[in-house]
C-alpha cells in the first residue's frame, strides 16, 4: 500500500521547522489527514580521543531539563555538505577540530511525523579550534567521559537522547566490523 496526497496546506513555519497538514487517501479508499514536520538535515558527531569521548551538556527547552548528549545540530538550510555540517557543529559545540571525520551513515529522525535526516560522523585526531559559538548555544558545557562511563550512562538513563543512542549503536556495529 501507498498513501496518496489529495491536498496539502502549510500550518506553520519558523527558521527551524515547517508543519503542514495533508489530506490523504489510503489504498483502501479511506481518507484522513497526515501532518508532517519538515526539518533541514542535521549531524551528530562522535568525538573520540583514545579512550575518551566528548559530550555536551545543555538545557533542552522541550523537556525542561539539562541533558548530556553527543554534539549535534543543523544549520537551518537544506543546502549542506554533510561533512562540513558535521565539522561545523563539532567546532561550534565543542571547540574542537578533527583530523579525521569518518562517515558512519545517516538516520531518519522521528519519521512517524518528521522528515529530517541526521548524518553520523566519527571524529578523531581532535585538537582545539578557535571558539565559534552559536548564540543559541552559549550555555553548552563540554564534558568528557571514558567509553565505559559513557556506556554506563546510556544504560542507566543518565543519557536518554535517541540520537545519541542511535549514533552509538551504529558506531558499535561499525567498530566491530573494523576489527573483523
- Asked whether position 178 contacts a copy of itself by CB under 8 A, the answer is no
Residues 72-91 that bind a copy of itself (CB under 8 A): 72-73
Beta-sheet strand order (sheet of 3-13): 3-13, 18-26, 31-38, 114-115
Nearer to a copy of itself, 108 or 128 (CB): 108
Residues 16-35 that bind a copy of itself (CB under 8 A): 16-17, 19, 21-22, 24, 26-28, 30, 32-35
Do residues 116 and 105 lie in contact, with contact meaning Cβ atoms separated by under 8 Å?
no
Q: What's the DSSP call for residue 136?
A: G
Phi, psi torsion values for 73, nearest 5 degrees: 160, 180
Q: How far is CA 107 from CA 23, 152, 166, in A?
A: 27, 23, 8
d(CA 86, CA 98): 10
Nearer to a copy of itself, 121 or 168 (CB): 168
- Asked whether position 2 contacts a copy of itself by CB under 8 A, the answer is yes
Query: Where on the chain is the footprint of a copy of itself (CB under 8 A)?
Result: 1-3, 11-12, 14, 16-17, 19, 21-22, 24, 26-28, 30, 32-37, 39, 42, 59-63, 67, 72-73, 105-116, 118, 135-136, 138-139, 151, 154-155, 157, 160-163, 165-170, 172-174, 177
Amino acid at each position: 500500500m501507498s498513501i496518496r496526497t489529495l491536498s496539502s496546506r502549510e500550518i506553520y513555519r519558523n527558521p527551524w521547522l515547517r508543519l503542514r497538514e495533508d489530506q490523504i487517501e489510503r489504498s483502501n479508499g479511506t481518507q484522513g489527514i497526515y501532518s508532517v514536520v519538515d526539518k533541514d538535515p542535521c549531524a551528530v558527531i562522535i568525538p573520540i580521543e583514545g579512550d575518551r569521548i566528548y559530550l555536551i551538556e545543555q538545557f533542552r527547552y522541550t523537556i525542561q531539563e539539562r541533558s548530556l548528549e553527543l554534539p549535534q545540530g543543523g544549520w537551518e538550510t537544506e543546502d549542506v555538505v554533510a561533512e562540513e555540517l558535521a565539522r561545523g557543529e563539532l567546532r561550534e559545540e565543542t571547540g574542537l577540530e578533527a583530523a579525521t571525520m569518518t562517515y558512519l551513515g545517516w538516520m531518519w529522525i522521528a519519521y512517524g511525523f518528521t522528515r529530517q535526516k541526521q548524518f553520523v560522523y566519527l571524529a578523531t585526531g581532535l585538537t582545539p579550534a578557535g571558539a565559534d559559538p552559536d548564540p543559541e548555544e552559549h550555555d553548552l558545557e563540554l564534558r568528557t567521559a571514558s567509553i565505559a562511563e559513557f556506556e554506563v550512562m546510556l544504560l542507566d538513563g543518565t543519557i536518554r537522547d535517541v540520537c545519541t543512542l542511535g549514533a552509538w549503536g551504529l558506531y558499535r556495529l561499525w567498530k566491530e566490523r573494523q576489527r573483523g
